[in-house]
A = this chain, B = another copy of it.
């Protein structure tokens, strides 16, 4: 049970953008270098985020990305759901998945319970919380961006 690098990178990207919220558009190349992530891979991640409206884009020269919404208004569950695709710990929990054993299954409640504590945690934590942490750790540089 591991979260994908897609989610880990995506979260780091959003924290990076969140720390520079209301600033200029930032090009991916800079972010990729700064976060030590393959730019081509980041492009794919960013394309996953775009349709949800969480980031806004400027194409062409001097283009780039910025966060489109207030970090205080986004929680981690929303982010994880976009990046991880679906955060159910097992397939049986998905509505679309019709497990024949569901009626007599005694373990489904275990997974439901697990999903609940994970969901609660992710909903409780806003992007802003992580951004604040980022800012405090990178405080020296934040004025020079």
With a cutoff of 8 Å between Cβ atoms, the chain B residues found around residue A114 in the complex are 118, 121-122
Are B134 and A113 closer than 8 Å at their CB atoms? no
A76 at the interface (CB under 8 A from B): yes
This chain's copy number in the assembly: 2
Would you call A120 an interface residue if the criterion is a C-beta within 8 Å of the partner chain's C-beta atoms? yes
**Closest partner residue, chain B, to A131 (CB atom):** B106
Does A4 sit within 8 A of B, measured CB to CB? yes
Asked if A145 lies at the interface with its beta carbon under 8 angstroms from chain B, I say: no
With an 8 A cutoff between CB atoms, is A61 at the interface? no
- Asked if A107 meets B36 with Cβ closer than 8 Å, knowing A1-B87, A84-B1, the reply is no
A100-128 contact mask (Cβ, 8 Å, vs B): 1 or 0: 01001111011101100110111001000
Contact assessment for A107 and B130 in the assembled complex, using a CB-CB cutoff below 8 Å:
yes
Is A24 in contact with chain B by the CB < 8 A criterion? no
Other than the given A11-B110, A105-B137, A117-B121, 4 more pairs (CB < 8 A) read A2-B90, A106-B131, A106-B133, A113-B125
Interface residues of A, Cβ cutoff 8 Å to B: 1-4, 7-8, 11-12, 15, 36, 76, 84, 87-91, 101, 104-107, 109-111, 113-114, 117-118, 120-122, 125, 130-131, 133-134, 137-138
